[in-house]
Structure 1
């Protein structure tokens, strides 16, 4: 079987982007075919490099990822060792990851989610900063010294590098998601230090090109904004904040003196689909109307006074201040008649009022503004 290995980690002396389904093709063994740039890496005490590969070469050991620093052209290289070679392996897509941790020195190569090789290198040391990264070649000098016999031939996809050693479970999760997976499953909050989009944005030399893959592209539906529906106090006199949280999806079931509260329009249902950075459709929180009367100074109590018959437009129970606010906001209420009995308060909204004597076992107050 053909196994990938870390050839050199030598001892020293970031919703879906445009990179999805875009494959980098290296058509031939030529030292003119490569991508080269300075990724401005800091010193690292852990790292992981992963990619999907489809090799198409003549059986030689070839290298697809090379990081060199001054004084060490093999600071980090990833390639293939020719143990045995078959036509099936030659054209098959495989998922390859190389992970290294300084504390243990373990450098682990995983193929299709399973660890196949572990060596100990650079224990207690660091991958040095300021080096040059080349995709498709092995560097014998920083940024150069290429050999066509070592040049990569085939296709590369979704090359990413992290600044820590990923766990075997995380690597297996990426493989299990499949080549056409959109997200890094199990890697929430862990963005690559070098992303595939970063690599695709760099200059491609020679005959290196980007071609479309065979993954199905799922289009996200346009984001639907939910309408904001409010029931103004001026239209619904009995609308005031209860002690519980104010509802945000519908108006209270209250009959207004002149008209009903308008029905809330339902938020359009957005079809559930796996798309990156999907925005949820939700209604914003609604500010609660205040329960304090608008002009406290104008409310005056008239003791032993009750309303005339046929002028009531509703009751408010439990809070005199709330009744004042509702009466003031309605535009038709001129007074409230509040009765207190055994600590409970009940207020009636009035359009006019007249005097009446004090009732037995109950005191009546009329407030007018």
Structure 2
């Protein structure tokens, strides 16, 4: 039986509708390429952030570049960005970019990225597999008052969208922490434990949809495995 929503809060704002609810077992579906459809996520903490981990699940047939997670601040539009190329995965921290080489045939289903200011260490996990660690922006802090958007990549603070970089498909189970998760923590996240983000929490998500974005139940393969999706009981 589907979980009862813990809280549903709808607030009318100058720009649209803010909704707060438990998204467990749900996905955001962006059905087509556009520069006007996206989801804005409202964090529970506004920074600055010296350490972070972002995990999400996605399902897409796109064969082009696209943005998965865009965090912009007033002075740095790519203060933290997760961006997919055909055979590379890109991470931005403080407008600085690094790349991870990934197979062009790789089907992205679960992605976790962590970064810590003290060492500058970036760890990327795709489908439960870690990639060689890299270093970027040692000593930096992601700025306060971020605008966080999924479905588009920000080239300005809350805007500057390009349809050719938009995400088309499903995104779910998105959590963000203001700490670097351990390998064991990440495995717990992948296998649907009760770990929830303290910056963004999918089970208590405050968000605003723009354009054509649907909220739908998750689908699983018939040979269901625990890391496929989370079916409430």
Q: Distance in 2 between matches of 1:174 and 1:38?
A: 21
Sort the Cα spacing of 1:191 and 1:66 in 2 relative to 1 into closer, same or farther, 3 A. Answer: closer
* 1:29 partnered with 2:40: no
Match of 2:213 in 1: 208
Q: Does structure 1 residue 66 correspond to structure 2 residue 70? A: yes
Question: What value does the CA root-mean-square deviation take over the aligned residues?
Answer: 2.2
Q: How many aligned residue pairs are there?
A: 189
CA contact (8 A) 1:163 1:193 kept: yes
1:128 is displaced (CA, Å) by 0.9
TM, length-normalised to structure 1? 0.48
Are the equivalent residues in 2 in contact too, given 1:113–1:168 (CA < 8 A)? Answer: no
Q: Give 2:56's aligned residue.
A: 51
1:130-145 to structure 2, matched below 5 A, reads 130-145=145-160
In 2, the alpha carbon distance for the partners of 1:142 and 1:74 equals 9
Q: In the alignment, is the contact (CA less than 8 A) between 2:42 and 2:200 conserved in 1?
A: no
**How do 1:65-104 and structure 2 match up within 5 A?**
65-83=69-87, 84-86=103-105, 89=107, 94-104=109-119
For residue 118 of structure 1, report the CA deviation from its aligned partner.
Answer: 2.5
**Residues 348-367 of structure 1: matches in 2 within 5 Å?**
none
Q: Distance in 2 between matches of 1:68 and 1:198?
A: 22
Quote the Cα distance in structure 1 between the aligned partners of 2:80 and 2:118.
17
Q: Name the CA distance, whole Å, in 2 between partners of 1:194 and 1:216.
A: 20
Q: Secondary structure at the match of 1:203?
A: strand
TM alignment of 1:56-205, pairs within 5 A:
56-57=61-62, 59-83=63-87, 84-86=103-105, 89=107, 94-175=109-190, 177=191, 181=192, 183-184=194-195, 191-199=197-205, 201-205=206-210
Q: Deviations over 1:48-87 (max 9, x none)?
A: 0001111221x1111121011112111001121211544x
Q: 1:76 to 1:216 in 2, by over 3 A?
A: closer
Q: What SS does structure 1 have at the residue aligned with 2:49?
A: coil
SS in 2 for 1:204: strand
Deviation at 1:42, TM superposition (A): 1.3
**Partners in 2 of 1:147 and 1:32 — Cα distance?**
9
Gaps of 5+ in 2: 7-21, 88-102, 220-229
Preserved CA contact (<8 Å) 2:50 2:117: yes
Q: Structure 2-normalised TM-score?
A: 0.74
Shift in Å at residue 170 of structure 1? 1.2
Larger radius of gyration: 1
Query: Secondary structure, in 3 states, of the residue corresponding to 1:173?
Result: helix
Assess, with a 3 A threshold, how the Cα gap between structure 1 residues 99 and 71 changes in structure 2: closer, same or farther: same
- 4+ long deviations beyond 2 Å: 15-18, 36-40, 214-217
How far apart are the structure 1 equivalents of 2:104 and 2:32? 18
Structure 1 unmatched ranges of 5 or more: 1-14, 185-189, 219-369
Question: Which string of whole-angstrom CA distances, capped at 9 and with x for unpartnered residues, describes residues 307-342 of structure 1?
Answer: xxxxxxxxxxxxxxxxxxxxxxxxxxxxxxxxxxxx
2:119 partner SS: coil
